[in-house]
Amino acid sequence: MCFLTAALPATAQSSSDSAPEAAVRNSGRILLVLPFDNRTGQPNLEWIREAAPELLGSRFSSAGFSPMSREDRLYALDHLGLPEGFQPSRASSLKLAQTLDADSIVVGSYWTDASGLVAEAQVVDVPHLRMSQPVTERGQMQDLVAIFDSLAWKLTRQLDPGFNVAEQTFIAAGAGLRLDAFEQYIRGITEPDQAERLRHLNQAVKLSPDYSQAWMALGREDYNGQQFDQAAAAFARVVHNDPDALEAGFYRGLSLLYSGDYAQSEKAFADVARVLPLAEVVNNEGVALSRSGRDGIAFYRQAETSDPRAPDYHFNIAVSLKRQGDETGAEAELAQCLRLRPGDTEAQALERAWKAPPGTLPDDNEVRPDPLERIERRFDAAAFRQAAQMLDQMDAARLAALTPAERARTLASQAQTYLDRGLLLEAERLCQDAVAADGSSAEGHAGLAEVRERAGDADDARKEARAALDIAPSVQAHLVLGRLDLTENHLSDAESEAGEALKLDPASRPAAELRRAIQSRQAPKP
């Protein structure tokens, strides 16, 4: 597929820019990854069309960019009157990107040859209508995930020449994904028939029980099918560090609310609100409280303060005030609801009932109506992304105010949090930023050593660990060296490293575990 011929300009700033500025710059760059063109001639490989944007988008997100979701793309296609499976031309692709305010489009294709699968991609700079040189990756079909991870790394380097995370880290980020489960997941989100979607998604989570994306998609299907108990169970399997975790928590709260489990629903919304107190989240937390017989008005007021032009929050405050006996306040809030939404028939009927003199209502309506509070049923993902970008900018401003040494320590600490969650790409990005901020950051080098160890690059892991120890004593660096020595069966060296780690931190559990592993290997065979 050929769109344009000129080379893509280097829009990224140089690698000498501060790490916080680079992170904020990339977080605002919106990418649209289109389905790849299937040039294999094999209909059974058509699923790879959608697999490409899923894999590339995931890596771009971890690299600090803002890739469009599949839902965003499908919405734009519908808005433009284009079918979901259309093969984009140059003009339609640019129109799609402009509709979504994307800065860049990634287009590509795949085919097979004697070596297996070949994937090729290019980046279109939308504002300047320029296209990058194509990048290509090839490998065996069973290595499909690694092929697209390598392709993502090459494209990221085109998008930001100053990006310095290792290719091996990109590959390691997808190493735990089973190809058969991934194929079932892709088929499960693209099948037009709901029964087939459910069948594929259930197969995906059966093959890979910890596959968060598949659980999220399965939860959406169950929720849309009003199978709320199953939906709540599926959303609960989305791990807390997954990009969809907050949305999963929101819809789990809704599923539990509809199932009548108000206590667990309240807890689900509260967990989301602690991270992102959007108006719809705190409103629903209040609804869960109200349905269990308690007072949720504080949450409705918080929602109304956050979004004063949303009529439903005024409606909920009115209902709560009426129950408390504050008729004047209730009528004022209901009037505000009607000012914002004059055609609200339920609010109109409620206002007439509340204002009717006693004895003028029919006998069966003599008791004033007491409606249920309204539930917000949509999670505003766009608001979440905006809030996340704002937090990134605030974090960047705080980091920029620190000395280089303080900035490096902060970044290395954040990287360790990602390491603890198994997110290698994000961890390396922050460790690289730490070392860029302060070349004498032992924590930054030690973090890089652990990233390299987990990515399977033993030589670089040793190099970074020794660089850390040349600067300052480091439990983390000694442990990396000890584990590498144990893997290579250098037991005396491994014992020495474990001992050094325990001298620095006698309470270190990883050091104690390493020593036990060494002793187990040293024990004579029966």
The DSSP code sequence of 115-136 is TEEEEEEEEEETTTTEEPPPEE
Q: Are 106 and 88 in contact (CB under 8 A)?
A: no
Question: Please, which pLDDT band fits residue 139 given cuts at 50, 70 and 90?
Answer: very high
For residue 237, pLDDT beyond 80: yes
Query: Rounded to an integer, what distance in angstroms lies between the CA atom of residue 59 and that of residue 53?
Result: 10
Predicted pLDDT of residue 52: 96
For residue 88, pLDDT beyond 80: no
Predicted pLDDT of residue 11: 33
Residues composing the chain: 526
The model's pLDDT over 180-191, given as tens digits with 9 standing for 90+, comes to 999 999 999 999
- Rounded to two decimals, the pTM is 0.81
Predicted pLDDT of residue 4: 37
Instruction: State the average pLDDT for the chain.
Output: 87
For residue 469, pLDDT beyond 70: yes
The model's pLDDT over 91-104, given as tens digits with 9 standing for 90+, comes to 666 666 677 678 88
Identify which has the larger pLDDT, 521 or 363.
Answer: 521
Identify which has the larger pLDDT, 367 or 166.
Answer: 166
Identify which has the larger pLDDT, 430 or 94.
Answer: 430
Predicted pLDDT of residue 19: 42
Report, as an integer, the average pLDDT of 36-43.
94
For residue 1, pLDDT beyond 70: no
Q: Which residues 6+ apart lie within 8 Å of 202 measured at CB? A: 218
The model's pLDDT over 512-524, given as tens digits with 9 standing for 90+, comes to 999 999 998 887 6
Report, as an integer, the average pLDDT of 346-354.
91
Residue carrying structure tokens 């979004």: 307
* Core vs surface per residue 263-300: b (16+ CB within 10 A) or e: ebbbbbbbbbbeebbbbbbbbbbbbbbbbeeeebbebb
The enclosing H or E element of 31 equals: strand 30-33
Domains of the chain: 19-176 (3.40.50.10070), 201-278+379-401 (1.25.40.10), 280-374 (1.25.40.10), 402-522 (1.25.40.10)
Tokens representing 428 are: 């390396």
Report, as an integer, the average pLDDT of 360-389.
70
Q: Which residues 6+ apart lie within 8 Å of 284 measured at CB? A: 250, 253, 254, 257, 265, 269, 375, 376
Report, as an integer, the average pLDDT of 146-165.
94
